[in-house]
Structure 1
Amino acid sequence: MSQRRRAREVALQVLFEDDVNTRATSAEMESFLRGRLRNRGMEQFSLDLILGTRRNLSAIDLRLGEVAANWSLKRMAGVDRNVLRLAAYEILFAGTPFRVAVNEAIELAKRFGSAQSGAFVNGILDRLKPEVEGQPAPGMKKAEA
């Protein structure tokens, strides 16, 4: 497993925990990252993913809600929801290449989610592709884009 994938796994764990019980202090979170990753560069990468996702959570949730036809974020499994949030952050805000973010998200969903999680995550993230390529996403009018 690549170091960056491992850093994404740890970021996913923190984001998943945010849904249930946010860590009390950033020192606790940084200690968690240090204990799991033991690599300063990957700790920083994971921290950037976590903080970026948190900082843009409202915009990410809004965008995912728009492309997740017939699914509200509340109805999604916690793992799937947080894999989607992490990937959407990377795609929309962090400049990660679309294919890389989607492939990593699918692998995370397969590892931590249900048997259907990989396909579910892939289907929703695929609806972000036109937006990333400068085209309106399915269901959006040209003026909204």
Structure 2
Amino acid sequence: MSVRSRSREVALQILFEDEHNSRASVAELTEFIHGRLNNPEAEEFARTLILGVRRNLGEIDQEIERIAQNWSIGRMAATDRNVLRLGAFEILYGDTPFKVAINESVELAKRFGSENSAQFVNGILDKLKK
């Protein structure tokens, strides 16, 4: 698994956890990320993803809901919702190539979601470019 893929995995864990028991302080977040990655480059990328999604959460969720016809953010499985947020952040605000952002999100969905998650995530994120 690449360094950036591992960073995305850790970012997903934090975003999922944010919904239940957020690590609000930067020190707690930094400690968790360092314990999981122990690589300065990977840690910085994970922190950028997490803080970027948190900072733009309202806009990201609005964009996802606009595209995901008949699906509100609240109706989506928590894993799918957070994979979508992460992928949408990279597509809308990051410098990750579109195809890479989608592929990485689909892989996260396959690993952590249900059997239909990868298809669901792919379908929604693909519409972000159009």
Give TM-score scaled by structure 2 length. Answer: 0.98
2:97 is matched with which residue?
97
Alignment of 1:86-125 (within 5 A): 86-125=86-125
Pairwise CA RMSD of aligned residues? Answer: 0.7
Render the CA deviation track for 1:68-126: whole Å, top value 9, x for unaligned. 01100000000000000000000001121110000000000000001110001001111
Aligned to 1:70, the other structure's residue is in SS state coil
Alignment of 1:52-91 (within 5 A): 52-91=52-91
- How far apart in 1 are the matches of 2:35 and 2:113? 23
1:29 is matched with which residue?
29
Aligned to 2:71, the other structure's residue is in SS state coil
**Gaps in structure 2 of 5+ consecutive residues:** none
Q: 1:40 to 1:126 in 2, by over 3 A?
A: same
- How far apart in 2 are the matches of 1:71 and 1:62? 11
- How far apart in 2 are the matches of 1:31 and 1:127? 36
- How far apart in 2 are the matches of 1:70 and 1:124? 12
Greater fraction of residues in helix: 2
Deviation at 1:24, TM superposition (A): 3.6
The letter of the residue matching 1:26 is: V
2:17 is matched with which residue?
17
The letter of the residue matching 1:44 is: E
Count of residues in correspondence between the two structures: 130
Q: Where do 4+ consecutive residues of structure 1 move more than 2 Å? A: none
User: Bigger relative contact order, structure 1 or 2, given CA contacts below 8 A and separation 6+?
Assistant: 2
Identity of aligned residues (%): 61
- How far apart in 1 are the matches of 2:6 and 2:95? 19
**Gaps in structure 1 of 5+ consecutive residues:** 131-145
- How far apart in 1 are the matches of 2:88 and 2:75? 18
